[in-house]
Amino acid sequence: MKYLSEHNFNFPFLNRRKFIKNTVTTAGAVLAAPLIGKASSGPVKQGDNYTVRQIMDSFISGVPGGPLSDTVDTLKAGRPDTIVKGIVTSMFPTIAVIRKTIDLGANFIIVHEPTFYSHTDNVLWLNGDPVYNYKEDLLNQHEIAIWRNHDYIHRVVPDGVTSAVLAQLDWKKYSDPTVINLITLAPVTLKDLIGYTKQKLNIEMVRYIGNPEQSCSRVLFIPGAAGGQTQVGAIRKLKPDVLICGEISEWETAEYVRDAVAMGENISLIVLGHIASEEAGSQYMLNWLAKNFPSIKATHLNCGNSLSFL
Ligand SMILES: [Zn+2]
């Protein structure tokens, strides 16, 4: 089976971040180096207590291919040997999410996206920045650990994020057996399809390009921010009636679809917002924690909507 997501190297057009090296460094004491290689020393367990490292290693050990030598899934704050008092899952570790984590008495946040505003979380460019300093101080003061689980959850088979959001949309049964991102629905207007996704994903708004009365049956769903060339490449290859994605660069896929519509192609675009398109993945993590570490209290925090921060 093939899965289209932000990181699927089985597809030649899905290679946006393929060459990014894991050269994360931090200005402070925050650990950002991967724990890969240390896993063999074994997780630390103290009675019913589990460490950050143990939870990370446990998830990674269940991912096909095991530990990656080149990944952004590193510890962004805190220490691997910290005993976990409670866990929060969220798409982004926003300051609001960190504050709520502190209020909950938790000290470990598992996120899907960066902490410090770039894919690698390299913070050298943020040296002296007041927002960065505030966030890092808050994390250090309260000894909060943050682990980004991005590459690993996308490598679970089937992709942990895509399958979770397809389940939320109730589309798993309509998924193509070889490319789960390709969904065949009974014909529906673009307008009604938008209404359906908003209702199922519990979001108030989407962005779209196309004729609201266009008939849509063949739906290509690519969560997250796959990048313009990946999204357009997938449209060319799979010829959907509509592409539903998390995020676009406004000068890439949106303009391509606009021109394709002007040419008379039966295509449209729905942009859900990055968070809404992958939020279900954080719920997947919550379920995984409940199953594997039932003694630890875990909470999912929704960090808002990418299309409206108010
Ligand atoms: Zn993702």
Q: Strands 242-245 and 215-222, how do they pair?
A: parallel
Determine the Cα–Cα distance for residues 258 and 42; give it in Å rounded to an integer. 53
Q: Please state, in angstroms and rounded to a whole number, the distance separating the CA atoms of residues 308 and 15.
A: 29
Q: pLDDT at residue 47 above 70?
A: no
User: What's the full length of the chain, in residues?
Assistant: 310
Distance 193 CA to ligand 1 centre (A): 23
Q: Which of 182, 306, 195, 163 lies closest to 248 in space, CA to CA?
A: 306
Report d(CA 303, CA 88) in Å as an integer.
11
pLDDT per position as a tens digit, 92-106: 999 999 999 999 999
For residue range 218-264, what is the model confidence (pLDDT) as tens digits? 999 999 999 999 999 999 999 999 999 999 999 999 999 999 999 99
pLDDT at 262: 96
Distance 167 CA to ligand 1 centre (A): 16
Instruction: Please list all protein residues whose beta carbon sits less than 5 angstroms from ligand 1, which is an ion.
Output: 6, 224, 278
pLDDT at 119 > cutoff 70: yes
The SS3 assignment for 251 reads coil
CATH fold of 39-156+279-300? 3.40.1390
CA of 263 to the centre of ligand 1 (A): 32
Amino acid, single-letter form, for residue 47: G
Asked whether the predicted pLDDT for residue 204 surpasses 90, the reply is yes
**178 CA to centre of ligand 1 in angstroms:** 20
125 CA → ligand 1 middle, Å: 24
State the average pLDDT over residues 197-225: 97
Q: Is the pLDDT of residue 24 over 70?
A: no
Q: Is residue 12 pLDDT above 50, yes or no?
A: no
Judge whether 39-156+279-300 and 160-275 match in fold: yes
Q: In what order do the strands lie in the sheet with 182-189?
A: 182-189, 215-222, 242-245, 268-271, 207-209
Q: Give the pair of three-digit tokens for residue 145.
A: 């650990």
232 forms bridges with which residues in the sheet?
A: none
Q: Does domain 160-275 have CATH number 3.40.1390.30?
A: yes
